């Protein structure tokens, strides 16, 4: 009888991704700030895409976490700007900030798959 604790699963680093989590939070907050200042959803989507590609390449395991971390900061920063800053985004701009998850999915999974392809191409035999 085999269990998960018998060594069949690889050991995971518990603190190895702290830097990447902090980087994801900073990139997501900067994408939200950019969305407030510029007000262009396409530019915000490209920043979210680039951030998730970078994070997917740097840490390819479980790319969904980069989608969540980067994507959630865009509406949160919009919400914080609405309540605490003098600059008030429109209601539609707040709702459309949730669309940042879509390019985030493509970026994180694309970066993760690209990292896997490069690792397989240049792996030593």
- pLDDT value of residue 55: 95
pTM of the entire predicted model:
0.82
Report the pLDDT value the prediction gives residue 64, as an integer from 0 to 100: 93
Stretch among 33-37, 52-56, 65-69, 87-91 having the lowest mean pLDDT: 87-91
The pLDDT confidence band at residue 12, using thresholds 50, 70 and 90, is: low
Q: By percentage, how much of the chain surpasses pLDDT 90?
A: 56
Residue 6 has pLDDT above 60, yes or no: no
DSSP 16-82: TTHHHHHHHHHHHHHHHHHHHHH--HHHHHHHHHHHHHHHHHH--SSTHHHHHHHHHHHHHHHHHHH
> For the chain, what is the mean pLDDT?
85
Take residue 119 and report the two structure tokens written for it.
């690792």
The pLDDT score that the predictor gives to residue 14 is 53
CA–CA gap between residue 53 and residue 89 (Å, rounded)? 28
Rounded to an integer, what distance in angstroms lies between the CA atom of residue 84 and that of residue 25? 20
């Amino acid at each position: 009888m085999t269990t998960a604790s018998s060594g069949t699963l690889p050991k995971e680093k518990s603190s190895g991704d702290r830097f990447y989590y902090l980087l994801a939070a900073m990139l997501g907050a900067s994408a939200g700030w950019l969305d407030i200042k510029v007000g262009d959803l396409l530019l915000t989507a490209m920043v979210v895409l680039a951030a998730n590609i970078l994070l997917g390449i740097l840490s390819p395991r479980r790319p969904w976490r980069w989608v969540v971390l980067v994507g959630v900061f865009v509406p949160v920063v919009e919400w914080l700007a609405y309540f605490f800053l003098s600059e008030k985004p429109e209601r539609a701009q707040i709702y459309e900030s949730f669309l940042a998850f879509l390019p985030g999915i493509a970026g994180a999974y694309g970066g993760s798959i690209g990292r896997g392809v490069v690792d397989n191409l240049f792996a030593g035999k």
